[in-house]
Chain A
Amino acid sequence: MFRFIVRRLLQMVLAFFGTTLIVYALMFAGQGDPIQALAGERPVTEAQRAYLTEKYHLDATGVGGFFYRYVDYLSNLLRGDLGESLTGRSIGDILATAWPVTIKLALIALAVAVIFGVTAGVLAGIRRASIFDNATLLLTLLVLGIPTIVLAPLAQYFLGVRWQVFPPTAGADPDFRSLLLPGIVLGSLSLATALRLTRTSVAENLRADYVRTARSKGLPNRRVVSVHVLRNSLIPVITFLGVEVGNLMSGAIITEGVFNIPGVGFNLFRGIRTEDGPLVVGIVSVLVVVYLVSNLVVDILYAVLDPRIRYV
């Protein structure tokens, strides 16, 4: 197990550099005129253009220029310096304020998905073809069918503005209550998927031989379900949720925008809109790390859940 983790960590280093290279290349290739993008429709003065061009090596173009800028970026990164965004703010500082709130939001979303999704999934799996099963099927299909860009403003309008159940926006230093609605909206998609996955997996395992054995030796139903079935059914769900952690962090772009939460997605959106290469690459690099770590955690959890899966 220990050797497995070390090997995975080494692989992560490679994966990290590979992905940042790709992201940097994409941003570099897609960049039009970041100085004009920053200014919107206002004219940019020559002095300002010269200043920014020099500061961010924007005159380094072509293949040579790309590697020059990428190596420059990497050497700064290795010193723990994520660089400055085009507006002159330290990206490290931006991320330091953006991460905590995004993590809080993602945790709420994940909790919503786990608590409601897995519980309802297990119940639906046990009571196949019951009213509950059919009702959840209908609801999850509905949720899966509505994109966040529709769901989030709707939830905000009805629950925030019309009925005033929740504050309509969360703001910079939000309390738990104001994060609850965006968290539920963000988590609803994973909730639906987690529910479907759990339900199928539980339903399948209930028919398995070992369940019949367990029942025939007289174990109470509760124990059969909670220990034997659940443990085996959770493997696909854990895989899904593990990858979902990364998705929740990056997928919060819409939710954070609608609910005005200045988190990672909020900043990523701004970076893309203003062609702020350094900011986008900086955020994506960190997101890559999140993905890699959550994948590692998933793999380790496998072994915990299923003793047959052993890593050498």
Chain B
Amino acid sequence: MRVRRLAAWTALPLAVTLGLVACGSGGSGSGESDPNAAVRIEIAEPQHLVPTNTNETSGSQVLAALFSPLVDYDEAHKPYAVAAESITSEDNTTWTITLKDGYTFHNGEDVTADNYIDAWNYGAYAPNGQNSSYFFEKIAGYDDLQGEDPKATTLSGLKKVDDDTFTVTLSQPYSEFTAMLGYTAFYPLPEAAFSAPGELAEGYEQAPIGQGPFKMKGTWQHDAKVEVERYDAFPGEQPKVAGVEFRIYQQLTAAYADVLSDNLDVIKTIPTENLSTAATDLGDRFQQSPASSLHFLAFPTFQEEYSNPDVRKAISMAIDREEITRSIFKDSQQPARSFVSPVVAGYRENTVGSPGEFDPIKARALYEAAGGPSQITLSYNGDGGHKDWIDATCNQLKANLGVDCVGNAEPKFADLLTKVKAKQPVGLFRMGWIMDYPSMENYLGPLYSSNGSSNYYGYRNPEFDKLLAEGASAPSEDEAIEKYQAAEDLLAEEMPVVPLRFGQNNFGHSTKVKNVEMDLFDRVDLIQIEAVS
């Protein structure tokens, strides 16, 4: 009887799974680079794989493999020409772009000026519903392409000079136009991408043809993977791996488990719940690098109780940024005391000045003198994991200002924005900003100018608008930066928002790759990465 009882025990599934303990491969590499191996990188399912329609990081990671941009950014985050031979302008309004020789699309077509003009016209034309169409709004003629039944189908500001040269006329001078051109929306499209002029061919998106270092291997396998392989005719710097498999994950924790067991090579974001153990789990394969995001609390300056800048400064002074980044974010973000991120040229440390320094005693005195409200609400979107730091901030305000503070969760960010747009009293609300291209203007214009697309706080300052306009028409980049810095100083005086934290890339990789680097756009550098055998 005893034997049979034992047999019955083994029938239990847990026992069976334990019994299956077998082949666990160690996989220790010799450390030598293997140019014939492919690497596996985690992404989420891209929404689109058309340059002018892709504005999330997973899609742009794939497109970065398939396309080569006109400009890229150097160590100082200033643009330099890549697929362009030169980009010049005398008045910041008309720009001449000359293309480098030797670039071909993966189907063999030569890259010409027409490829750029056609792609940009397609992106700007409103009925095509492209996500990134607003990137073309600085180009002359953009307004004629808007609306349900646009007046024109092509941008009047784009003119072909010859096969390798075209000019771009802007509707207003913009000194940092070159920096913009590094964005995904400005890639060219081959003739094969269009079935008729201005009409994207069906199926192009399933296997995009670009002019970059990698070409598609098969088609986009939705929810599963996108595979690319080295394009040998690429004239620029060749990648050091034979290909890349972009593996699609819905949950980061699954990707993290795969990196731990060498089933995946790069995870671009360590899931929050694993941040505290990542350094132990991965050792020096856990890495951090600067990212472009800025997190801040915004004031509804249109509300009476927050209209006094001293109230806003006192609140900023009462927040201990270091404490929150350390205890809540486990140092995965950095305290912020400027309105622009350290990743752009022209960044200065601590432009907020004294209101950025944690000083509870001065904060309370200032707050009481300025007559701040006795109750503060901090609104946030409940689906984004913001509760912890909002609560911590609230507790700091309670303790340091002697006010009542509550966190108010809206279900989604869209709900929060709807309320803010309708000027409903939500109190302070959280915002985040990720740059489109490295430029001070990108951190200032959309957020604080009177007609800025993301100016939700009712901040209006004609002087600020004037400085931005002067920066845009400044003859040189350095002079533009001076104007932008003056504009940033104005923000410090008026504090329409409280800058809290700068984001960081927190990424990890397996033992089978080396030289893993991430850029400011949350993308893995595919030229540098190497496979280890």
Give A contacts to B, CB under 8 Å: 32-33, 36-43, 45-48, 50-52, 54-55, 87-89, 93-94, 97-98, 112, 116, 119-120, 123, 130-132, 135-136, 139, 153, 156-157, 159-161, 163-169, 171-173, 181, 184, 188, 191, 256-260, 262, 266-267, 269-270
Contacts and interface: CB of A to CB of B under 8 A. Distances in A.
B146 interface: yes
Contacts of B203: none
A87 B127 contact: no
B21 A163 contact: yes
Contacts of A88: 48
Given A98-B223, A131-B5, A262-B223, 5 more contacts: A87-B48, A156-B254, A169-B257, A260-B250, A260-B255
Given A120-B8, A123-B8, A191 B453 contact: no
B17 A165 contact: yes
5 contacts: A43-B454, A48-B131, A161-B260, A257-B251, A262-B248
Contacts of A259: 254
Given A47-B126, A50-B126, A153 B13 contact: no
B127 A51 contact: yes
Contacts of A153: 253
Contacts of B14: 139
Interface string B413-427: 111011000000000
A43 B263 CA distance: 35
A36 B417 contact: yes
B173 to A, nearest CB: 23
B257 A45 contact: no
B224 interface: yes
B258 A163 contact: no
B222 A51 contact: no
Contact of A32 (B25, B384, B415): B415
Interface string B107-129: 00000000000000000001111
A6 B334 CA distance: 67
B420 to A, nearest CB: 13
B17 A159 contact: yes
Given A120-B11, A160-B257, A33 B17 contact: no
B47 interface: yes
Nearest to B383: A273
Interface in B1-18: 5, 8-9, 11-14, 17-18
Interface residues of B, number: 60
Interface of B: 5, 8-9, 11-14, 17-18, 20-25, 45, 47-48, 55-56, 126-131, 133-134, 146, 148, 221-225, 247-251, 253-255, 257-258, 260-261, 263, 381, 384, 411-415, 417-418, 432, 453-454
A33 B418 contact: yes
B20 A165 contact: yes
Given A32-B411, A164-B261, A165-B20, A191 B13 contact: yes
Contacts of B24: 163-165
A165 B21 contact: yes
Given A48-B130, A168-B263, A267-B223, A181 B17 contact: yes
B263 A167 contact: yes
A166 to B, nearest CB: 8
Nearest to B281: A161
Contacts of A167: 261, 263
Contacts of A32: 411-412, 414-415
A256 B417 CA distance: 32
A135 B14 CA distance: 13
Contact of A40 (B48, B413, B415): B413
A42 B415 CA distance: 13
A255 to B, nearest CB: 11
Contacts of A50: 126, 129, 148
A39 to B, nearest CB: 8
A256 B249 CA distance: 11
In this complex, the member of B20, B25, B48, B384 whose beta carbon has the largest number of chain A beta carbons within 10 angstroms is B20
A193 to B, nearest CB: 14
B294 to A, nearest CB: 13
Given A52-B129, A153-B253, A169 B258 contact: yes
Closest 9 CB pairs of A and B: A51-B129, A172-B224, A164-B24, A36-B414, A262-B223, A260-B254, A168-B257, A47-B126, A33-B414
A156 B148 CA distance: 51
Contact of A168 (B8, B128, B254): B254
